[in-house]
Amino acid sequence: MIRVILVEDNPLNAELATDLLELGGHSVTLATSAAAFRKLLAEPPGDIVLMDIRLPDGDGVALLAELRSTEGWHTVPVVAMTAHALIGDRQRFLETGFTDVVTKPIETRTFRSHVEQLCRQA
């Protein structure tokens, strides 16, 4: 079982990702804002963080920097999730320190296996 931290403010995206992961036997903790995610940083880390890069009260790049500076969380794989990727964004996100990038809408056939593969590689 993988412990997933999902940082997603869109209820439909959060529900879809949660359902896909829970069907695979994984646990999902949802944070619907940057503030909610910051509270999770005081707890033991998950196995992977899936983070929307655009949140109503912050952005994923800034949150990634906070996560990387938090003891216990600095080695957790963090995947940027975005519906607004432009050419070159993937490379920019990877250079920023994200482990990978997932574009939305989520590809339902491969999403869970992709997350599982990233956790195995970590």
Across the range 92-111, mean pLDDT stands at 93
Query: How confident is the model over 4-32, as pLDDT tens digits?
Result: 999 999 999 999 999 999 999 999 999 99
Place of tokens 């412990």: 3
Does 25 map to a domain? Answer: yes
Does 42 map to a domain? Answer: yes
pTM listed for this prediction:
0.95
Does 117 map to a domain? Answer: no
Q: Please, what's the b/e burial string for 7-25 (b: 16 or more CB within 10 A of its CB; e: otherwise)? A: bbbbeebbebbbebbeeee
Neighbours of 41 (CB within 10 A): 17
The CATH number given to whatever domain includes residue 96 is 3.40.50.2300
- Our count of domains for the chain comes to 1
pLDDT tier for residue 50 given thresholds of 50, 70 and 90: very high
Helices 89-96 & 60-68 angle (0-180, nearest 10) = 20
